[in-house]
Amino acid sequence: EVQLEESGGGLVQPGGSLRLSCAASGFTFSSYWMAWVRQAPGKGLEWVANIEQDGSEKYYVDSVKGRFTISRDNAKNSLYLQVNSLRVEDTAVYYCARESSGWYRFFNYWGQGTLVTVSS
Amino acid sequence: DIQMTQSPSTLSASVGDRVTITCRASQRISSWLAWYQQKPGKAPKFLIYKASSLQSGVPPRFSGSGSGTEFTLTISSLQPDDFATYYCQQYNSYPYTFGQGTKLEIK
């Protein structure tokens, strides 16, 4: 059974940093693209970033470029999101998601999310 | 960026009704469209990929159609468990984008 478990969220002041983690199990982690998707309170879903199987390719939504960094450790079956220079508008539940196989990929498994609150 | 627009934003319906949600893309995305269901406080659940392919385990009352720029999600006979928010998502190109969601409410 595929399982994704996020951690690392919390309350942080504007300008602060956090490192979000996602522990994966139940599948061969190193074989899949992985992604972070966020959802602001009461709002819709927003793709944040994704990373190729070996970490060599990474893509980001424009609003987080230069502030967020996605990474992975295949030996630890773990995905990370380093979030720096946080803004109030970054407040959201951050979901870890596994992408499907193939060239065109969707999100076929999701974690339960970790809440990041940016407030003074 | 490709903008995804869903309609309606809210839909009131009764158990047993047939309902259809529309998703329009601002550019052609072939059939690279997925649908997700989300209940309050829960993670999204993946339902349909490639516009019309049902994920294993998803009840056959759910169906998807469309290609290019216009897509639909249809639930043939609403069940109590189906009342939720539904999102479409294009995965044709970066950045991946979602529709704003359609909240399906009990009438």
pLDDT in tens, A81-106: 999 999 999 999 999 999 999 889 99
To probe the interface with A, which of B30, B46, B55 has the most A CB atoms within 10 Å? Answer: B46
Residue A38: predicted pLDDT: 98
Output the pLDDT for position B10: 98
Residues 6+ apart with CB under 8 A from A76: none
Please list every residue in chain B whose beta carbon sits closer than 8 Å to the beta carbon of residue A106: 34, 46, 49, 89, 91
Contact A70, A51 (CB under 8 A): yes
Residues 6+ apart with CB under 8 A from A54: A30, A74
- Provide φ and ψ at A66, rounded to 5°: 85, -10
Per-residue model confidence (pLDDT) at position B66: 98
CA distances from A70 to A35, A45, B49, B86, B104 (A): 8, 18, 25, 27, 34
Nearest chain B CA: its distance from A16 CA (Å): 25
Q: Tokens representing A88?
A: 């109030």
Are B42 and A112 in contact (CB < 8 Å)?
yes
Burial class (CB in 10 A: 0-12, 13-18, 19+), B16: exposed
Q: For the residues B53-64, what does the mean pLDDT come to?
A: 97
